[in-house]
Amino acid sequence: MTRLLFVFAFGAAVAQSAPAVSIDGAWEVHATIGGTVSDLRCTFVQKEADLTGKCGSDHDTHEVAGKVEGKTVTWQFNTVWEGQTLTVTYTGTLESVDKMKGAVDVQPLSVSGDFAATKEK
């Protein structure tokens, strides 16, 4: 019985310390936010759970910061719209190593939407 408990505890510790899936690289992000469609190209750099990089379009680019925890990916950036600073937060779930879907939230406007992202090959 003691041996069984040790094996279970060891297996649980190994499972918890397993590295998260890496999302390093370029992603095409298609979003619909408050009825408005947008397409961004995001380039992510992941170091353990921390996520940095840039997201942008032909018009502007934003520095991003976020986290990868298991299959959950979250990143955000600030942008200015009509003189007001907005914080845009993406929270998604990895469906595979090259696809994710989730929600977008824009504050302080309280506007939301959804997104789908595909990793560039």
Q: Which pTM value belongs to this model? A: 0.82
At the second CATH level, the architecture of 21-119 is: Beta Barrel (2.40)
Residue 13's pLDDT is what? 44
CA 49, CA 66: separation in Å to the nearest integer? 8
CA torsion sign, 46 to 91 to 53 to 42?
A: positive
Quote the distance between the C-alpha of residue 56 and its chain's center.
14
CA torsion sign, 115 to 44 to 83 to 107?
A: positive
Ordered per-residue pLDDT tens for the chain, 121 residues: 444 333 344 444 444 444 458 899 999 999 999 999 999 999 999 999 999 999 998 888 999 999 999 999 999 999 999 999 999 999 999 999 999 999 999 999 999 999 999 999 8
Torsion angle, CA of 64/99/101/42, rounded to 10 degrees? 20
CA 37, CA 67: separation in Å to the nearest integer? 25
Residue 6's pLDDT is what? 38
Residue 20's pLDDT is what? 52
**Residue 79: its H or E element:** strand 72-81
